[in-house]
């Protein structure tokens, strides 16, 4: 059975929950259904619409969450795409490039690290993108916790029903 997207009362996405948890929240009156799946579920006596998107009745406070800085999360942020040539690669063929080279004071942070394929990394070497004539596809920034935690760059894998709610 497909999971459901749970929104805060403010419509901000909170998490992805199992269909059982979603039904429980509805039955307890803690959430309202915004979008139903086409499938239904039957108990001995009743038929329920399975929720696809539901919203909490009362707003919960969400602590500010940050995405852990790591090589694999940089690749995920960049959708496994070399930020110089634009090609996609598997993680084993990618490297981690300092936009402003380390030898010139560039730091290892979200805003100075991009995903690069090995050939582009070698070509760029210890130059800036401008010096190398290799403009970046995107300006690197720290990803927001949401929607990163729900599968950054893979929004296409989520049900169409969710899309209006994912990019708030």
Residues in contact with Zn ion by the rule CB under 5 A: 82, 84-85, 117, 120
CB 70 → Zn ion: shortest distance, Å? 21
For Zn ion, give the closer residue by CB, 37 or 121: 121
34-41 long-range contacts, CB within 8 A, separation 24+: 34/7, 34/165, 35/161, 37/2, 37/4, 37/161, 39/1, 39/2, 41/1
CB 152 → Zn ion: shortest distance, Å? 20
Cis omega (within 30 of 0) on the bond before 12? no
The residues, ordered by sequence, that sit 6+ positions from 102 with a Cβ below 8 Å of its Cβ are 108
Selection from 67, 110, 117, 114 nearest residue 93 by Cα: 117
CB 4 → Zn ion: shortest distance, Å? 38
For Zn ion, give the closer residue by CB, 97 or 161: 97
CB 113 → Zn ion: shortest distance, Å? 15
For Zn ion, give the closer residue by CB, 57 or 126: 126
């Amino acid at each position: 059975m497909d999971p459901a997207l749970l929104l805060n009362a403010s419509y901000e996405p909170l998490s992805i929950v199992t269909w059982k948890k979603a039904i429980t929240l509805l039955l307890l009156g803690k959430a309202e259904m915004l979008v139903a799946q086409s499938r239904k579920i039957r108990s001995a006596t009743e038929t329920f619409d399975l929720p696809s998107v539901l919203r909490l009745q009362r707003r919960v406070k969400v602590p500010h969450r940050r995405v852990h800085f790591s090589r694999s999360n940089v690749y995920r942020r960049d959708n496994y795409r070399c930020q110089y040539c634009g090609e996609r690669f598997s993680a084993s063929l990618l490297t981690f490039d300092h936009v402003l080279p380390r030898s010139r004071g560039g730091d290892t942070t979200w805003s100075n690290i991009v995903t690069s394929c090995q050939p582009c990394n070698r070509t760029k070497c210890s130059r800036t993108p401008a010096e190398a004539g290799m403009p970046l596809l995107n300006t690197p920034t720290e990803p927001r916790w949401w929607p990163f935690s729900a599968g950054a760059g893979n929004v296409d894998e989520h049900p169409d029903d969710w899309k209006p709610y994912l990019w708030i």
